[in-house]
Homo-oligomer: A and B are copies of this chain.
Amino acid sequence: MNLESVKKYLEKRQGDTSSLVDELPPRFLEPLVLNALRVDLVEPGRVLCSMKIPPRLLNSGNSLHGGATATMVDVVGSAAIPTLGHMSGRTGVSVEINVTYLDAAYADEEIEIEAKTLRVGKAVAVVSVEFRKKKTGKIFAQGRHTKYLPAISKM
């Protein structure tokens, strides 16, 4: 692959959706990823969601985009933090996100996303987020989200 092709590889990704994209409202990444998400269970330290993978979240290989998985590690992981109750809804600031991709998941597959808090301390929270295929129970991705919880200033 020559260098010019790499440039095109990145630019072609925009296809002719360019004018559509430019008109989208602010903060559109979360609705794009989360619109298909169902919240099945919320309990202290745990959030369980499910999703039928929508075609809009696929990559060019037609499997769930790694960036969509990472966005869910971010958002669903964040949602697990205030389930422990003592923080008046603060979800903090991301420090680190990591994701291991174990297998591909395809359009219309039913998946489960489970976020579990590993620690919610005074200043640091860590949440593990697991992605499973509903049909087989097989884990296809696992991530971890570490957040810093700034102190609430007391007035």
Q: Min CB distance, A128 to chain B, in Å?
A: 7
Could you tell me if A32 and B24 are in contact, using CB atoms closer than 8 angstroms? yes
Mark each residue of chain A from 84 to 124: 1 if its CB lies under 8 Å from any CB of chain B, else 0: 01011100011111111111100100000000001100011
Contacts of A42 on B, CB cut-off 8 Å?
A: 3-4, 6-7
Nearest CB of B to A114, in Å: 13
User: What chain B residues lie within 8 Å of A71 (beta carbons)?
Assistant: 65-68, 70-71
Instruction: Say whether chain A's binding surface is mostly helix, strand, loop, or mixed.
Output: mixed
Most buried by B among A22, A65, A87, A89: A65
Contact B94 A146 (CB under 8 A): no
Q: Which residues of B contact A34 (CB under 8 A)?
A: 10, 13-14
Chain B hits for A55, CB < 8 A: 25-27
A5 within 8 Å of B (CB atoms): yes
Contact A14 B35 (CB under 8 A): yes
Contact assessment for A29 and B56 in the assembled complex, using a CB-CB cutoff below 8 Å: yes
Nearest-neighbour CB distance to chain B for A68, whole angstroms, equals: 6
